[in-house]
Structure 1
Amino acid sequence: MPHALPAHRPRTPRLRHLSLATLALSLALSAILLTALPHPAGAATVPARGSAYMGIGVLAHDGQDGSPAGTAATQTEGVDVSAYQGNAAWSTLWSSGVRWAYTKATEGTYYTNPYFAQQYNGSYGVGMIRGAYHFATPDTTTGATQANYFVDHGGGWSKDGRTLPGVLDIEWNPYGASCYGKSTAAMVSWIADFLSTYKSRTGRNAVIYTATSWWTSCTGNSSAFASADPLWIARYASDPGTLPAGWGFYTMWQYTSSGPTVGDHDKFNGALDRVVALANG
């Protein structure tokens, strides 16, 4: 005798539709949550050539942590700016106690800061002692070529008591290989080429801006320039930390990198008369 059919068949198709709807809702919620989460550091896109500013590589590699500790030594507040700041509010900065400033003039041999005149002349106009810096790209052209480009586009010097020597900003590469594809020996040679050319053009030794972490990795912690070129150390912490080989002290310290929206702040290792002394050579 055949078995009787069950009174009600299971509604499999309806259950399947319910499961698919639940799955779709779950995926949609997951996508929303993932979009809201911050991107991991390694997922950041490479910036456009020319957009680098003083500390961009240091901030990405070493991070930012802490603020400067109090010190008994007299130090003089300064700022460094680039095109990101646009037309800087120099009167406001002066009122806040800033007495010296550096402006990005050039990068490689392919970029000049469109706000250079306002920033360089504007800081001078309110009474600051000012200077210019060059963001180095050792993977694009020689040190001598970049030094000449820098001097020809705002990086010169005059003994007026208000103009600081130019700065070679050499740090972690924001565009690619950390050491710009160079061996430590080749990097030291590139830096020497830039510095000797700059001195021959201006009569001044350029300031070297760098981070100890980069200098150690990419120059082998060379001490070749410490006797002649002032050090501007980048370290975003409560103190400047260990300095690169050969330098017993820093001349300037970039203690915070606020990035694109506000100028980075710095300490000059001495009173205002020492800033003037560096300007006069």
Structure 2
Amino acid sequence: MTAACAAALALGTAALTAPPAAAWDLPLGHDVSSHQRNVDWAGARARGARFVYVKATESRSYRNPFFRGQYKGARDAGLIRGAYHFALPDKSSGTAQAAYFVRHGGDWRPDGRTLPPALDIERNPYGAKCYGLGKKAMVRWIRAFSDEVLRRTGRHPVIYTSTDWWNDCTGRSKAFGPDHALWLARYSSAGAGRLPAGWSHWTFWQYASSGPLPGDQNLFNGSRAALERLARG
């Protein structure tokens, strides 16, 4: 997730330093990118981290230079980890960006330690909110990305998004909720709130941009055993 998008989500909301009170018993996690560089993974684990998503790629022109070390370091520390791709739908097709992502870290294996690949699709930090795409074109782009990830990995991607962006830029599409896990972006101490169209529950919730863990703070909506089942596929 970009710093600009984090600022937009956090507008008017103080950064949380702990999970919302109602969610203390859920597995804690975080997500990192090149901004976090060399993460103290053992320290993150000691502070409660049980999973992490690591940024691998953006569009078809960027690879996180710290990805390899971050991804391996997370696993070595005992965290369940996955990779995510930051989408720029105005730059190239969903199929092309998915292929680039899978080739450069977005693959998946049924080892119980690897989360499904994730698509970060949100407000454009470089220009028009919806990347200049109409609602139907955006849905087609996301579908093309998903289909290519599924073809290459055997898993549908997790979709990271906010409710407002999704409803505005996809026209409240309900096409992905039945078979794509939701990673909800909403910074609030009051709960996850209204979900994007098509989803009845969230799987991951990014609830703050800072806290005890490196990067953004997240929760998994289930038990540790359920998290491991998600990783196994």
TM-score if structure 1 supplies the norm length?
0.78
Question: Who is 2:50 aligned against?
Answer: 99
Unaligned runs of 5+ in 1: 1-53
CA displacement at 1:211 relative to structure 2: 0.4
Distance in structure 2 (CA, Å) of the matches to 1:224 and 1:130: 26
Distance in structure 1 (CA, Å) of the matches to 2:207 and 2:10: 12
Distance in structure 1 (CA, Å) of the matches to 2:70 and 2:202: 25
Question: Who is 1:273 aligned against?
Answer: 225
**Match 1:154 to one of 100, 105, 108:** 105
Distance in structure 1 (CA, Å) of the matches to 2:10 and 2:45: 28
SS of aligned partner of 1:134? strand
SS of aligned partner of 2:30? strand
Kindly indicate whether residue 90 of structure 2 is the aligned counterpart of residue 139 of structure 1: yes
Distance in structure 1 (CA, Å) of the matches to 2:134 and 2:23: 40
**Match 2:68 to one of 117, 137, 146:** 117
C-alpha distance 73-264 of structure 1, shift in aligned 2 (>3 A): closer
Give the number of aligned pairs.
227
Runs of 4 or more off by more than 6 Å in structure 1? Answer: none
**Match 2:193 to one of 225, 241, 244:** 241
Please list the CA deviations of residues 72-125 of structure 1 after superposition, one character each: whole Å capped at 9, or x if unmatched: 683100010000000100000000010101100000000000000111000000
Kindly indicate whether residue 164 of structure 2 is the aligned counterpart of residue 217 of structure 1: no
**Cα RMSD (Å) of the superposition?**
1.6
Question: Who is 2:30 aligned against?
Answer: 79
Higher relative contact order (Cα pairs below 8 Å, separated by 6+ residues): 2
Assess if the C-alpha contact under 8 Å between 1:58 and 1:211 holds in 2: no
Kindly indicate whether residue 8 of structure 2 is the aligned counterpart of residue 61 of structure 1: yes
C-alpha distance 111-156 of structure 1, shift in aligned 2 (>3 A): same
CA displacement at 1:57 relative to structure 2: 4.8
Identity %: 50
SS of aligned partner of 1:99? strand
The one-letter amino acid of 1:61's match is: A
Assess if the C-alpha contact under 8 Å between 2:2 and 2:125 holds in 1: no
Rg bigger for which structure?
1
Question: Who is 1:129 aligned against?
Answer: 80
Distance in structure 1 (CA, Å) of the matches to 2:37 and 2:198: 37
SS of aligned partner of 1:162? coil
C-alpha distance 84-73 of structure 1, shift in aligned 2 (>3 A): closer
Assess if the C-alpha contact under 8 Å between 1:135 and 1:169 holds in 2: yes
